[in-house]
Amino acid sequence: MGPSIIVALCLFVWWLEPFSADYLAMQRSAIANGYYWQFITANLVHTNFIHLCLNMAGVILLWAVHGQYFSTLQYLLACLFIGFVVTIGLYITDESLAWYGGFSGILHGLFMLGCYKDIQNGIRSSWLLLAGIWLKIGYEQFSGQSEVVAELIAANVAVDAHLYGAIGGFFWVFGEYLLTLKKRPS
């Protein structure tokens, strides 16, 4: 149910174009003027239909692989938290980024979260997936965006969003771990 809600929200935001690009995407100047909702809504905005389709395919694929670990509420809260980490991270660290929209940062965070859940459930091959996603993120940090993807989505790929999404996923896992420690009998 969670991915259905995300897909429906992203489609609705897409339907609202050009309003959504103007008022819901993260815009540094707008946030400076009090449009704080953009820290959340920016993750639902996409630059074009291909961008939207790529991200929604990622939502569906990750749900097919790791959906068993989440209730609808957990999934939506994880998306909200990771999305906030993504946009706050971009806003604080990249002053040259004037506009941001997209769900790929959240996808990276959900992938991390799913890998950790797999590992907790004894699926050791997820260590390889986890290493792979960190290698991909590291590669992007040093070599920059994929020009092919940038051309497809008609915008620069905010590779730092992928990094912050993974960090958000890690913080979510760490928070869950701390909660389980509190619940254990002394």
Asked whether 16 and 41 are in contact (CB, 8 A), the reply is no
Number of folded domains in the chain?
Answer: 1
pLDDT of residue 140: 83
| C-alpha–C-alpha distance, residues 47 and 49, integer Å | 7
Q: How confident is the model over 64-82, as a mean pLDDT? A: 96
Asked whether 14 and 103 are in contact (CB, 8 A), the reply is no
| C-alpha–C-alpha distance, residues 164 and 92, integer Å | 11
Q: How confident is the model over 113-121, as a mean pLDDT? A: 95
pLDDT of residue 181: 78
pLDDT for residue 22 is more than 80 = yes
Neighbours of 159 (CB within 10 A): 20
Q: Give backbone dihedrals phi and psi of 15, rounded to 5 degrees, phi first.
A: -65, -30
81 vs 94: which has the higher pLDDT: 81
Q: Measured between alpha carbons, how far is residue 93 from residues 2, 10, 103, 126 in Å?
A: 30, 26, 19, 30
Q: What is the mean pLDDT of the chain?
A: 90
Q: What is the pTM for the complete model shown?
A: 0.90
User: Which of 47-51, 75-79, 113-117 is predicted least confidently?
Assistant: 47-51
Percent of the chain with pLDDT over 70: 92
pLDDT for residue 49 is more than 60 = yes
pLDDT for residue 109 is more than 80 = yes
CATH number of the domain that residue 18 is part of: 1.20.1540.10
pLDDT tens-digit profile of 136-176?
899 888 876 666 555 656 556 678 999 999 999 999 999 98
pLDDT of residue 156: 63
pLDDT of residue 145: 61
pLDDT of residue 157: 61
Percent of the chain with pLDDT over 90: 76
pLDDT of residue 73: 96
**Full residue range of the structural domain in which residue 152 is found:** 2-183
| C-alpha–C-alpha distance, residues 125 and 47, integer Å | 35
